[in-house]
Amino acid sequence: MRKGAWLGMVMLVVGVAGLTFATARSLPFLPRGSHLTGSDAMGGMMGTFLSGAQVPRITRAEAVALGNEVPLGASADRGRNQLVFRTSVVRLTILASPPWGKDMTFRVAGLTNPTIVVPQGAQVRVEFVNPDNDTSHGWLVSSALPPFRYMAMMGTPPAFPGSFAPPLGESYGGGMPSETITFRASASGRYTYLCPVPGHAQRGMYGVFVVAPS
Ligand SMILES: [Cu+2]
């Protein structure tokens, strides 16, 4: 990747909270990125930039609490590994691969990769946190279905405008990077949420996202 393009992308991503779908699609690292982990040069750089001071951070204790909390208006069914919202306002906290859980999964309301059900038309706000201390992660709702290939993000654009949390760098002593996205679950159907970092959905970072007809 040309240095200019890379820096331009990094500057874009650092200021990221309100990235639109159109902008997101133009990010060069999405289709062409390497492993965005802290263990390779590109990933390390990505992590450094994305974990910059501009990204809000939370403590480990806060992340643990948020990862276990059943959101207001939701019911968690542990037997079915399902989180069901019946409210038109949906507030979710999603943790990426926390060190206190199973590797390469999402943690939501104390569940691992749960099926998330929201009513059609719901206004969804997701606080996305990366507590993983050695890997970057993102979150995306897409209409693609598993199994996923290594480059899972190819051909899996966000299902709804804004249903994309760009990858955040890994956690370190300064706290756990977080970001908030909002989108409207405008069309009913069965979708998938997944991590767009290459190889992660393939290794299990995904779950079912259902928009129930109203
Ligand atoms: Cu990931």
Centre of ligand 1 to C-alpha 79, Å, is: 25
Distance 141 CA to ligand 1 centre (A): 13
Calculate how far, in angstroms, residue 150's C-alpha sits from the geometric centre of ligand 1: 12
pLDDT for 50 equals 52
pLDDT at 29: 37
Q: CB within 8 A of 61, min separation 6: which ones?
A: none
Q: How far, in Å, from the CA of 169 to the mean position of ligand 1?
A: 10
pTM for the predicted model, two decimal places: 0.76
Which residues surround the ion ligand 1 when the cut-off is CB under 5 Å? 137, 195, 197, 200, 205
Give residue 214's pLDDT.
Answer: 82
Rounded distance from Cα 137 to ligand 1 centre (Å) = 4
**Which residue(s) pair with 158 in the sheet?**
142
Distance 139 CA to ligand 1 centre (A): 8
Taking CA atoms, 71 is separated from 79, 120, 142, in Å, by 18, 18, 22
User: Residue 63 CB: number of other CB atoms within 10 A?
Assistant: 24
The pLDDT score that the predictor gives to residue 71 is 93
Contact 20, 161 (CB under 8 A): yes
Q: What is the CATH number of domain 3-212?
A: 2.60.40.420
Cα 201 to middle of ligand 1, angstroms: 7
Low-confidence ranges of the chain (pLDDT < 50): 1-49, 51, 53
**Domain boundaries, given as residue ranges, for the chain:** 3-212
Helices 3-14 and 41-50 cross at an angle (nearest 10°) of 30
For residue 48, give the 3-state DSSP assignment: helix
* Straight-line distance from the first to the last Cα atom of the chain, in angstroms, rounded to the nearest whole number: 45
Distance (angstroms) between ligand 1 centre and the Cα of 128 equals 12
Judge whether 27 and 157 are in contact, CB under 8 Å.
Answer: no
Q: What is the distance in A from the centroid of ligand 1 to the CA of 105?
A: 8
**Residue 214 C-alpha to ligand 1 middle, in angstroms?**
32
Residue 22's pLDDT is what? 31
DSSP category for residue 130? -
